[in-house]
Amino acid sequence: MAESKKAWGGRFSKPTSKQFEKFSESISFDARLYDADIRGSIAHATMLAECGLISKTDCSRIVRGLKAIRREIEAGTFEFREDREDIHMNVEAALVERSGDAGKKLHTARSRNDQVALDMRLWAIDEVAHVYGLLREAQAALVGLAEANVALIIPAYTHLQHAQPVLAAHSLLAYVEMFERDIGRLGNASCGMLVSPLGSGAVAGSGLPIDPDATARHLGLPEVAANSIDATGDRDFILEMAFALAMIAMHLSRWAEEWIIWSTEEFGFIELDDSVSTGSSMMPQKKNPDALELIRGKTARVYGNLVALLTLMKGLPPAYNRDLQEDKPPIFDSTDTVADSLAVAIEVIDSVRFRPDRIAQQLDRGHLDATSLADYLVLKGVPFREAHRLVGELVKDCLARDCRLGDLPLEAFQKRCGKICEDVYGFLGPENCVKRASGRASTSHRRVKAALRKWRKKLAG
C-alpha cells in the first residue's frame, strides 16, 4: 500500500496535492474496518512484545491506547481525518498522539499491505457470521409459516402454467433448501478468510525475528499465509463472499417474484401485511408489494458488485496494488444490501397471510390431476407415452364439456381406455394427488411433515 507522505515523508520533496489527497483517501468508506484494524494491531503488538521487539511496557501502552480509540469510535467522538488517508493511518496517528514513541513502534515488521489484508479477513468473518444468522432466521420464519399452513394445498406452476397440486409447506421448504445451499457457500468462502497474512510485510516478509504463528493464534486464526506475495494481493475470499452474496440475492429475488405474483388480484394466494406494503400517489385503491419489488431490484446491485470485483482483479499482477483500495465499496455494499434484504424478507414472511378461499378456486382449474391420472394408467400396465397421449385426449374431452377430470363419467374414461375402472377416482382431485406423491422429495403430507421435523430439529440445534 502506498505509504502516506505525511507519515513517511523522507523520500519526497513535495506534499501531496489537495486534489490527489481527496482522490486517494479511503477513510470515507474504510472507517468501518476500525474494529478489525484494532484487533489486528493488538495481536501484532502482543506478538512483538513476546518476541522481544518491543517492551512489555510499550505493548501495554499500545493496547490501552488502541482500546481507548475503539471506545471513542464506538461513542462517535473520534475524529476521522481525510488527510490521514485511511483507517490504518487514522488509528496509528491517534495512537501516537496518545502514547508517543510506544505508538511509533507498533508498525514494526508490518506494512499496510499485510495489515489491510488481515483487516478485510477479520471484517469478512464477522459479516459472514451476521448473514449466516439472518439466513437461519429466514429459514425459521419459512418453517414456521409452513407449519401454520401444513394442510393447505396450492397449485404448483411450471412455465407459469398450472402443473400439479402441492402442499404450500412443500413450496415454502423449497426456499429453505436454497438458503441452506447459501449457508454452505458462505462456509466455503470463509475458509479463505481464516488465514493470517501478518508477517508478509509489504511483499517479501520481514527480516526481523517475528512469530506470525503467535499473531494468528492471538487472533483465533488457524493458518498463516504461506507466500508473502500472494498473501498481500489475495482477495479470492472477497470474490467468493461476493459470489455467495449474489446467490443469496438471487434466491431472495426468485422468492420475491413468486410472492409478487401470488399477491396479485389475478392470483390472490397471499395477502401482504400493510407494514411491508405501500400505496400509490395517484390511485387510492392500490396496495403495492414494494418490499418484495425492492428485494428483487436490489439484486441487480449485488450482481453489479460481483462483476466490479472480478473486473478489478483481472488485470492485477501479484502482490499489492493500489487498485485493491477499490475492493471495499462493492463488498461493503453487497453485504449491507443482502443483510437488509434478508431482514425485510423475514418481516414479510412473519406477517403474510395465505388466502385458502382464493387458492381453492385455482385448484379446480388447469386439470392439475392429469399427471396422477397418467400414473394410474401406468399402474394398469399402459406404457407411459401411451398413457400421456390418452390423458391428453381426456383433458380435451374435459375442455369440450367445461368440467374437471373428476367430473367425467366412468363411460367417458372407458371410451378412451378399457383398463380404467371405478378406482380411477381415487387418483383424481388435489387431495388424492398430494396423498399419492410419496417419493422421498415429494409433496405428500407424510413427507412434508417429516421434512418440517428435520428442519425444526436442525434450526433448534
Catalytic residue numbers?
159, 280
353: Cβ contacts below 8 Å, ≥ 6 apart: 270, 271, 273
Give the whole-angstrom CA distance, residue 449 versus residue 147.
8
155: Cβ contacts below 8 Å, ≥ 6 apart: 162, 163, 164, 165, 166, 359, 362, 363, 365, 366, 368
- Give the other-Cβ count within 10 Å of 108's Cβ: 15
- How many CA atoms lie within 13 Å of 415's alpha carbon, on the beta-carbon side? 8
* Grid cell at residue 144: 414456521
20: Cβ contacts below 8 Å, ≥ 6 apart: none
Q: What is the 3-state secondary structure (H, E, C) of the chain?
A: CCCCCCCCCCCCCCCCCHHHHHHHCCHHHHHHHHHHHHHHHHHHHHHHHHCCCCCHHHHHHHHHHHHHHHHHHHHCCCCCCHHHCCHHHHHHHHHHHHHCHHHHCCCCCCCHHHHHHHHHHHHHHHHHHHHHHHHHHHHHHHHHHHHHCCCCEEEEEECCEEEEEEEHHHHHHHHHHHHHHHHHHHHHHHHCCCEECCCCCCCCCCCCCCCHHHHHHHHCCCEECCCHHHHHHCCHHHHHHHHHHHHHHHHHHHHHHHHHHHCCCCCCCEECCHHHCECCCCCCCCCECHHHHHHHHHHHHHHHHHHHHHHHHHCCCCCCCHHHHHHHHHHHHHHHHHHHHHHHHHHHHHHCEECHHHHHHHHCCCCCCHHHHHHHHHHCCCCHHHHHHHHHHHHHHHHHHCCCHHHCCHHHHHHHCCCCCHHHHHHCCHHHHHHHCCCCCCCCHHHHHHHHHHHHHHHHC
Residue 177 phi/psi, 5° resolution? -65, -40
